[in-house]
Chain A
Amino acid sequence: MQGQATERYVAEVLTLQGTMAGEDVAKAIAPALSAQLAAAAAAYASLQLEAEPSGFFAVVAREKA
């Protein structure tokens, strides 16, 4: 299901962007992308994420040598 949605999304984006690719490229890259997105979703699911990405620099400042 996610693979089909991603494939459709790829095709739409590529059409909108006016690049050549279209469905052939979408079919080629969608499975790999679906797997990546699914893995990322699983990885982030259990995390308490901050509202904004700026927390990274606060940790850098705290952890610096």
Chain B
Amino acid sequence: MAGELATLSLVEVAARIRSRDASCAAVLDAVLERAAEVQPKLNAFLRIDETLAREQARLADAELAQGRVRGPLHGVPMAHKDMYYRQGVPSSCGSKIKGREPEKTTATALKRLDAAGAIQFGVLNMAEFAYGPTGHNWHFGHVRNPWNPAHITGGSSSGSAAAVAARATFAALGSDTGASVRLPAALCGVTGLKVTYGRISRAGAMPLSFSMDTIGPLARTAADCALLLGVLAGPDPADPTAAHEAVPDYVTGLNRPVNGLRIGVALNYFTEDVEPGVGAALTESLKAIESLGCEIVPVTLPDMTAMDIAGTHIIGAEAAAYHGEWMRTRAQDYSAQVRARLERGLTIPATKYLDALRYRGPALEAFARAVFAKVDVLHAPCLPIPTPTLAETDVGSSPHMDRTLALLTKFMRPFNYLGLPSLAVPCGFLASGLPVGMQLVGRPFAEDLILRLGHAFQRATDWHKRVPQP
């Protein structure tokens, strides 16, 4: 029973709890058992708060017995990337610098999950200060890919993706500044949503780059992400950048038809450097989408490389500014890799940073003209290469490491720069047994559409149902 409960999707387990087919305590037992089993192999968790979570589950069961349901996530246990602050509890942010002092506020995202009834039972490993695409963490140990522990999980939401894939949490918050939800989602074979810039409040979440940061869920399915987005999205007085756009009913919208949608496939950029196994999986995914009644339309993209570079400049300059004081006073407490990246940010001239910001409007306009004037959604690979190993992407492993790291993010970072929503969806496996991911990119605030298409794809395929055995 316990093992079976842990393999349910978030939507399924929430329904079982509400109907009292499963108790909150039993569901929590199932994920705690699974977490204990996989943690020695994956190093996904930084802390598990078992006693507190059990007390919360007991209360949640008592409430259900009295007919009280807090919200759509009543009693569902989750763990989150350790960069969402909770008042009175330290957050490490994957670093040696933070994590000693209790936080003074609680992140709006956590408050909203709490209000919906979710139970946070732990915090997850991550790249130091969310500034790394591989899942290495030199302070707390590297996170391992559940499909093959010799390989990277991707980052920076490394623990989030590994734990969701291993069925050790039903979902997890990640953050996506330059691919950090979608990349680990793709490499670990789970579903990850990068939202439109401003769709979810960032109050109480560790900043990396305030012009690019977004918060997003990683879960088993697009439907799970839809349920979570409905809870998380919306304006917030504590975050003036949170959008005031109406929040649609993402869950109800999932079942609207997708036939007749126009799906764009790029004739350039997303065809570069794509290795055959990845390309084959993407081709098959397009066939599946076409079989849903969608029309496949070729599109020629504007200069995506410039957008990738501009985004890199913005992240570099803003991260270096945010870390300035610690760089002056605690430089020795950073890992060498993160410190070197931050130092690189110090060297970006203000004029280049401002050019990158000024180029953002014209770039989005050019992209919208080339893509959204012709199609509803763009289909693209998450990354062009198979999942590298930890050793291949470790410090000084190869003179080609910089290029490998650039290839990990080059297909995703432009959408952070453009502020567009993008859903990473598992769409196949390589001969090596490692998963492949596709991304579905939509217009600003069109999360409902990409979630609907992702849901339809997952009803027609079973890639997301495969469970790794770490």
Does B associate with A?
A: yes
Distance A6 CA – B344 CA, assembled complex (angstroms): 10
A39-B343 contact given A53-B357, A63-B368, CB 8 Å threshold? no
Q: Which residue of A is nearest B211, CB measured?
A: A53
Partner of B364, one of A37, A54, A60: A60
Assuming A19-B327, A19-B331, A43-B305, is B343 touching A14 (CB within 8 A)? yes
Task: Assess the A65–B444 pair: CB atoms within 8 A.
Answer: yes
> Among B339, B349, B355, B402, which residue has the most Cβ atoms of chain A within 10 A?
B355
Within 8 Å CB of A44, what residues of B?
306, 310, 355, 359
B352 CB contact (under 8 Å) in A14, A40, A59, A63:
A40
Closest to B329 in A: A18
Decide: A64 near B364, CB < 8 A? Known: A10-B347, A28-B340, A53-B357.
no
The smallest beta-carbon distance between A3 and chain B, in angstroms, is 12
Assuming the contacts A18-B328, A65-B448, asked whether A49 and B347 have C-beta atoms less than 8 A apart, the reply is no
**Chain B interface size, under 10 / 10 to 19 / 20 to 34 / 35 or more:** 35 or more
Q: Which residues of the partner chain B approach A41 to less than 8 Å between Cβ atoms?
A: 352
Q: Contacts of A59 on B, CB cut-off 8 Å?
A: 361, 364-365, 368
Taking a contact as CB atoms under 8 Å apart, the answer to whether A63 and B443 are in contact is yes
Contact B344 A29, beta carbon cutoff 8 Å: yes
Task: Judge whether B245 is part of the interface by a CB distance below 8 angstroms.
Answer: yes
Query: A53 to chain B: which residues have CB within 8 Å?
Result: 354, 357-358, 360-361
Are B361 and A50 interface neighbours, CB within 8 A?
A: yes
Q: Are B331 and A56 in contact (CB under 8 A)?
A: no
Q: B328 touches which one: A19, A28, A58, A64 (CB < 8 A)?
A: A19
Question: Chain A contacts of B309 at CB under 8 A?
Answer: 36, 39-40, 43
A interface secondary structure, majority: helix
Residues of A within 8 A of B346 (CB): 10, 13-14, 17
Question: Per a CB cutoff under 8 Å, which of A39, A48, A60 touches B305?
Answer: A39
The number of residues on chain A lying at the interface, defined by a beta carbon within 8 Å of a beta carbon of chain B, is: 40
Complex: A41 Cα to B349 Cα, angstroms: 12
Q: How many A-B contacts are there with CB distance less than 8 Å?
A: 120
What's the least CB distance linking B453 to chain A, in Å?
A: 13
| A34 to chain B: closest residue by CB | B347
Given the interface contacts A53-B358, A55-B362, does A29 sit within 8 Å of B305 by beta carbon?
A: no
Interface flag for A20 (CB, 8 Å): yes
- Do A60 and B444 touch across chains, with their CB atoms under 8 A apart? yes
Other-chain residue from A10, A18, A36, A56 in contact with B360 (beta carbon distance below 8 A) = A56
B359: chain A residues within 8 A (beta carbon): 43-44, 47, 49
| Residue in A9, A49, A51 whose beta carbon sits within 8 Å of that of B362 in the complex | A49
Central interface residue in B332, B357, B442, by most chain A CB within 10 Å: B357
Whole-angstrom CA separation of A39 from B197 in the bound complex: 26
Q: Is the CB of B362 within 8 A of A47?
A: yes
Find out whether the CB atom of B343 lies under 8 angstroms from the CB atom of A21: yes
B residues in contact with A54, CB < 8 Å: 361
In the bound complex, residues from chain B placing their C-beta under 8 Å from that of A13 are 346-347
Closest to A28 in B: B340
* Residues in chain A near residue B324, CB distance under 8 A: 17
Verify A29–B310 contact, CB threshold 8 A: no
A25-B358 in contact given A9-B347, A17-B327 (Cβ < 8 Å): no
A43 in contact with B364 (CB, 8 Å): no
Q: Per a CB cutoff under 8 Å, which of B331, B340, B372 touches A63?
A: B372
Bound form: Cα–Cα A30–B444 in Å: 36
Give B residues with C-beta under 8 Å from A: 196-197, 245, 303, 305-306, 309-310, 312-313, 324, 327-328, 331-332, 339-340, 343-344, 346-349, 352, 354-362, 364-365, 368, 372, 402, 419, 442-446, 448-449
Sample of 11 A–B contacts (CB below 8 Å): A14-B346, A17-B328, A37-B348, A43-B310, A44-B306, A50-B362, A55-B362, A56-B361, A58-B361, A59-B364, A64-B245
